[in-house]
Amino acid sequence: MAAWPNPTQSMGKPTPRVDAFAKVTGGAKYTYDVQPDGLLYGMILRSKWPAANVTKIDITKAQAMPGVKAVILAGGEQRKVSFYGQELAAVAAATKQQALDALRAIEVTAEPLPFVVKEDDAIKPDSPQVADGPNLSQAKVSSKGDPNIDALFASAAAVCEAELRTPVQLHHPLETHGNTVSVQGDHVTAWSSTQGVFSVRDGLAGNLNVPQSNVQVICDYMGGGFGAKFGPGTHGGLAAQLSKAAGAPVKIMLTRLDQGLAVGNRPSSIQKLKFAAGADGKLLAADIENRGSPGISGGGKSAGGGGGAGIALPYIYHFPNVRSQQFGVTMNTGPASAFRAPGHPPASFGTESMIDELAVKLNMDPLQFRLLNDGDGIRQREYKEGAEKFGWAVKYKKPGSDPGPVKTGVGCAGATWGGGGRGSEAEAQINPDGTVEVRCGTQDLGTGSRTVVAIVAAEAFGLRPDQIKVKIGDTNLPFSGGSGGSSTTASMSPAVWDACQNALTALQTQTGVADARGANWTDACKKLGINPLTARGKWQEGLSSSGAGGVNFAEVEVDTETGFVRVKKIVAVHDCGLIVNPLATTSQINGGIMCGIGYALYEERIMDRQTGLLLNTNFDSYKITNIADCPEIEVILINMPERGIIGIGEPAVIPPAGAIANAVANAIGVRVHSLPITPAKVLAALGKVPNMPSV
C-alpha cells in the first residue's frame, strides 16, 4: 500500500493559493467571463404559474426582433408546468438587452391549475395532487432494539418531545449556474460553471447526440457550487440547442431570480422527535417522524424521504432503541439537489436540540451528557479540546440565568461525515528546463484544489508549490470525478502523487541521478536532453480514507427586547485525516460556520401561499450572512496523517445551527423550535408577541 512521506516538506504547511494572483487582479476568467468570438447572450423564459396547462407558446414576434438569432422551446408547446420558474423557451441575441426584449415578446397561453407550495397544505386531503402519485410519499421505515418502544418511554427517567422545523435553504453561489456552449457540427466546446466537467461533457453529448469524445468542457475558475452544480442542467441543454440553432456560441448564465427557482435547494424538514434517557444519563430510545419537501421531486411511490428529503436521524448518538419513519412531500416548487452535507444540518439541529432538552431535564451539563452518549473517540477528544479553548466550564450556566435584558448563552453540537474519494487519474510532465506541469481533470470550486495539486507535486519533487504549473478543469485532461461529498482532495491527491512518483522514477532511471529531488532537480532535468518526460498515475489505496468528525461551541447574545441574536464566538474543532493545506482548511471551516450561521438565523426560501411565487428573490430579502455577522472564530485542527486524506468542506457546515440554537435556548431559557431563529420567533418564544402565522 502506498504511504505519504513522514515528515513532509510541503504538505501540511500553510500555503497561499497558487491562483490567488489571478483572483485579486480580476484576471481569473470564470464561465460568466468567457467571451468567444461571435458570442450570443442567451436567456430563459420561465413559467409564471406554479401549475398550469400550457396550450400555446407563440415565438414569432420574438424571432423577428432586432439582434435575435434563435428562439427555441424548452419542452414542447403544449405541456403541463409544475412549478414557478419551470423552463418554457429560450432566446439567443447579440446583447443582453435584446435577449430581454425578446423574452418579453414571447406570448404564452395557459390554463392555470390549482397548486400547493406549503408542506402542511400539501398533505391535507383536499390538496391539489402535484404529480402522479400522492403528495405524501410512502414512509421509509426503520427500527432497532425493543419493538415495544412506547413502554420504554412510559418508564424512562426523562422524556422530551417536540416538533422541530427547518426551512428550504437556497445554495446561491455567487456565480449563478450557467454555460457557454459552442456547437460546431458534431464538435462541441463548452465552458461550464460546474462541480464536474465530465458530468457536463456526458450530459451535453447526450443532449446533442454527439460522441463524448467530441465534447470538450472547460471550467478554469468557478464561483461556488455547494452541491447544486453537476451536469449541464436544463439551462445547459438550452444553451447547446440555441448554439446549434444559431450557429454561434451561446452563453446562458442564470439570473439571481432563476437561481432561486429552478436549480436546487436543501429540502425542508418537519421533525417530530421524542427522545428518552435513563436516570444514569444514558440515551434509551428515539421515536422519529420526519416530513420534508424536495419540491416537485418528492412524494409518490418513492419510499420515504423520497427525492432527497430524508435526513440522518437520529444524528450521531447511540440510541439502543429506535422507531423511525420519514416521508417526502411533493409540492409545486423547484426541485431539490445536494446541498453541502445533504441530510446532516437539519438532522443535527433537530437531534442536538433534543439532546440539550434532555440534559436540562436530567439536570446535567449538556457537554457531559454528550460525552456520556457520543461513542466516537475522536469527537470525544474534540469536545474536550474545544471546551478547554472555549472556556465551557466557566461559561455554561443554567438556562435563562443571565439577568439580561441582553442575555448570553452557550451551546455545542457535533458532526460526522464520510468524505474520502477515489478514481482520479493524473499526469505529470517534467521539462528539460526543470519546469513541471501537472494535469488532472478535476475542478476548483473555491476549495483550493488547484493549490492542493501543486502542494502534492511539490512534495514529490522537493520543489516549492509555486514552481508547479497546474492544469485542471478540462475534460481533455486525465479523468477525475465530480467535486462532491468532500471527496476531491482525497480522490485527486493520491493520483497526483502516483503520477509524480512515476515521473520521478523515470527521471532518475533515465538520467542516472540517484535522487533528483530538491537541490539536484535542475541538473537532473537538464540531462533529459530535448524531450520532456511524461508519466501517468492513478488513485492508490492507502493515501486516503473516510470518516471525519467535528464539533462546534457557540456563544450568543440575545436581546430579549428586540429578539435579535448575535453570534459572539465559535470554537470549531475538526479532524480530516492528513491536512494538506491548513490555511485553506481554515477557510473551509470559516466558510462552513458562516453558511451555518445563515442557516441558523437568516436563510429561508419563502413561497407565497396565495400565488405560489417565490417572495425572496434576491439578496435583499434572501439573507445570507455578511461580514458584520462574523463572530470571533477559533479553529482547532486535529491532524491525523496516519489516516491519509479525508475531506473537510461538508462537516464544517453541519454543527453551527445546532450549537447556535442550543446557545439561544441556554440564553433565554426557552427554545425556538424552528430555523431560522428570527427576532419574531425569539420574541414569540419569550411570550412577548403572538406566534407569527406562516405566509
Residues 124-163 that bind another protein (CB under 8 A): none
Residue number with CB closer to another protein (279 or 628): 628
Residue number with CB closer to another protein (396 or 599): 599
Strand partners, 81: 52
Among 594, 648, 659, 682, binds another protein (CB under 8 A): 594
Q: How far is the CB of 555 from another protein (least distance, A)?
A: 15
Residues 176-195 that bind another protein (CB under 8 A): 176
Size of the site for another protein (CB under 8 A): 78
Given a contact cutoff of 8 angstroms between Cβ atoms, the answer to whether 679 and 424 are in contact is no
| Closest listed residue to residue 468, CA positions, set 444, 447, 440 | 440
Q: How far is the CB of 30 from another protein (least distance, A)?
A: 7
Residue number with CB closer to another protein (12 or 494): 12
Q: How far is the CB of 141 from another protein (least distance, A)?
A: 37
Q: How far is the CB of 416 from another protein (least distance, A)?
A: 17
- Backbone torsions φ then ψ of 489, nearest 5 degrees: -65, -40
Q: How far is the CB of 450 from another protein (least distance, A)?
A: 11
x-or-dash string of contact with another protein, 519-558, rule CB under 8 A: ----------------------------------------
Q: What is the DSSP letter of 560?
A: T
| Closest listed residue to residue 374, CA positions, set 290, 322, 314 | 314
Residue number with CB closer to another protein (14 or 114): 14
Residues 460-519 that bind another protein (CB under 8 A): none
Q: How far apart are CA 485 and CA 417, in angstroms?
A: 9
SS3 149: helix
Residue number with CB closer to another protein (95 or 401): 95
Residue number with CB closer to another protein (258 or 402): 258
Residues 373-392 that bind another protein (CB under 8 A): 381, 384-385, 388-389
Given a contact cutoff of 8 angstroms between Cβ atoms, the answer to whether 653 and 340 are in contact is yes
Q: How far is the CB of 521 from another protein (least distance, A)?
A: 25
Among 337, 586, 662, 666, binds another protein (CB under 8 A): 586
x-or-dash string of contact with another protein, 305-344, rule CB under 8 A: ----------------------------------------
Q: How far is the CB of 24 from another protein (least distance, A)?
A: 4
Please choose, out of 304-312, 516-524, 629-637, 681-689, the segment that lies near another protein by the rule CB under 8 A.
629-637
Residue position matching grid coordinates 435584446: 98
Among 584, 607, 654, 664, binds another protein (CB under 8 A): 584
Q: What is the DSSP code string of 305-355? A: SGGGT---PSPSS--SEEEEEEEEB--SSPPP---SSTTSHHHHHHHHHHH
| Residue 412 interacts with another protein (CB under 8 A): yes or no | no
Please choose, out of 13-21, 347-355, 358-366, 462-470, the segment that lies near another protein by the rule CB under 8 A.
13-21
Among 3, 151, 174, 692, binds another protein (CB under 8 A): 174
| Grid coordinates given for 582 | 491548513
Q: How far is the CB of 370 from another protein (least distance, A)?
A: 16
Q: How far apart are CA 179 and CA 84, in angstroms?
A: 22
Q: How far apart are CA 576 and CA 419, in angstroms?
A: 9
Given a contact cutoff of 8 angstroms between Cβ atoms, the answer to whether 12 and 228 are in contact is no
Among 205, 222, 248, 250, binds another protein (CB under 8 A): 222
Residue number with CB closer to another protein (499 or 646): 646
Label each residue of 664-692 as H, E or C.
Answer: HHHHHCCCCCECCCCHHHHHHHCCCCCCC
Residue number with CB closer to another protein (30 or 369): 30
Residues 250-279 that bind another protein (CB under 8 A): 253, 255-256
Please choose, out of 218-226, 395-403, 486-494, 658-666, the segment that lies near another protein by the rule CB under 8 A.
218-226
Q: How far apart are CA 673 and CA 291, in angstroms?
A: 15
Strands 40-46 and 436-439: unpaired
Residues 65-124 that bind another protein (CB under 8 A): 95-97
Residue number with CB closer to another protein (201 or 251): 251
Burial class of residue 692, CB neighbours in 10 A (0-12, 13-18, 19+): exposed
Q: What is the DSSP code string of 179-221? A: EEEEEETTEEEEEE--S-HHHHHHHHHHHHT--GGGEEEE-SB
Q: How far is the CB of 215 from another protein (least distance, A)?
A: 25
Q: How far is the CB of 600 from another protein (least distance, A)?
A: 13
Residues 637-666 that bind another protein (CB under 8 A): 637-640, 642
Q: What is the identity of the amino acid at 515?
A: D
SS3 165: strand
| Residue 175 interacts with another protein (CB under 8 A): yes or no | yes
Residue number with CB closer to another protein (199 or 586): 586
Please give the angle made by the CA atoms of 287, 290 and 294, to the nearest 5 degrees.
165
Q: What is the identity of the amino acid at 412?
A: C
Among 5, 27, 38, 405, binds another protein (CB under 8 A): 27
Q: How far is the CB of 346 from another protein (least distance, A)?
A: 19
| Residue 595 interacts with another protein (CB under 8 A): yes or no | yes
Given a contact cutoff of 8 angstroms between Cβ atoms, the answer to whether 173 and 225 are in contact is yes
SS3 33: coil
Residue position matching grid coordinates 432527497: 308
Among 23, 301, 397, 464, binds another protein (CB under 8 A): 23
* Cα separations in angstroms, 453 against 107, 590, 679: 51, 22, 45
Q: How far apart are CA 586 and CA 477, in angstroms?
A: 29
Taking each helix axis from N to C end, the angle separating 488-511 and 449-461, rounded to the nearest 10 degrees, works out to: 30
Taking each helix axis from N to C end, the angle separating 345-361 and 655-668, rounded to the nearest 10 degrees, works out to: 30
Q: How far is the CB of 465 from another protein (least distance, A)?
A: 13
Q: Which residues contact 30 (CB under 8 A, 6 or more apart)?
A: 175, 193, 220, 221, 222, 223
Q: How far is the CB of 170 from another protein (least distance, A)?
A: 10
Strand partners, 670: none
Residues 30-59 that bind another protein (CB under 8 A): 30, 32-33, 35, 41
